[in-house]
Amino acid sequence: MILFGAMPNPYPVELRERAVVAYEAGEGSYEHVAQRFSVCSRSLVRWVARARDIGSVVPLKKCGGWQSPVDLNALHAVVREKPDGTTEELTRAYNRQVGRAHRVHRSSFVRALRRCGYVFKKNVRGPQRATALTFKSSGAPTSYGPRP
């Protein structure tokens, strides 16, 4: 079974340097040196190329990933203008405010609302209504349930 998730931490710089020095000293092929240091041969190939190109085997800083296209200042302004709007209404208002080039889908807008700490109250009919910030409880939870 293959699990997808966060990338693992990089190999230590000392290990990388020892493996590259061993390969450059002619102690064997990529596969042989990689086996000796218990690393993937493709990793060793990249380390050697990196050492030759920039003179260092220090791993690159972890970065990347996806960033939300939602402008948080515009999001807060839209919620202030219409705090009791449905998420559909808020998304339409947001898209009108930011313009055609920066429009977002409702699901992106809802994720941004949740990341900012907004919650949605539902009425009897079911649509999401009244958007409001959540506040953390001032007291620690007890084994008997939340404080009244």
pLDDT, tens digit, for every residue of 69-106? 899 999 999 999 998 888 899 999 999 999 888 899 99
Going by pLDDT thresholds of 50, 70 and 90, the confidence category of residue 140 is low
On whether residue 76 sits in a domain, the answer given is: yes
On whether residue 22 sits in a domain, the answer given is: yes
Q: Are residues 76 and 50 in the same domain?
A: no
Percent of the chain with pLDDT strictly greater than 70:
76
Q: Whole-angstrom Cα distance, residue 47 to residue 13?
A: 10
Helix (H) or strand (E) holding 131: strand 128-133
What's the structural domain count of the chain? Answer: 2
The pLDDT of residue 109 is above 50: yes
How many C-alpha atoms does 79 have within 13 Å on its Cβ side? 22
The pLDDT of residue 145 is above 50: no
**CATH code of the domain in which 128 resides:** 1.10.10
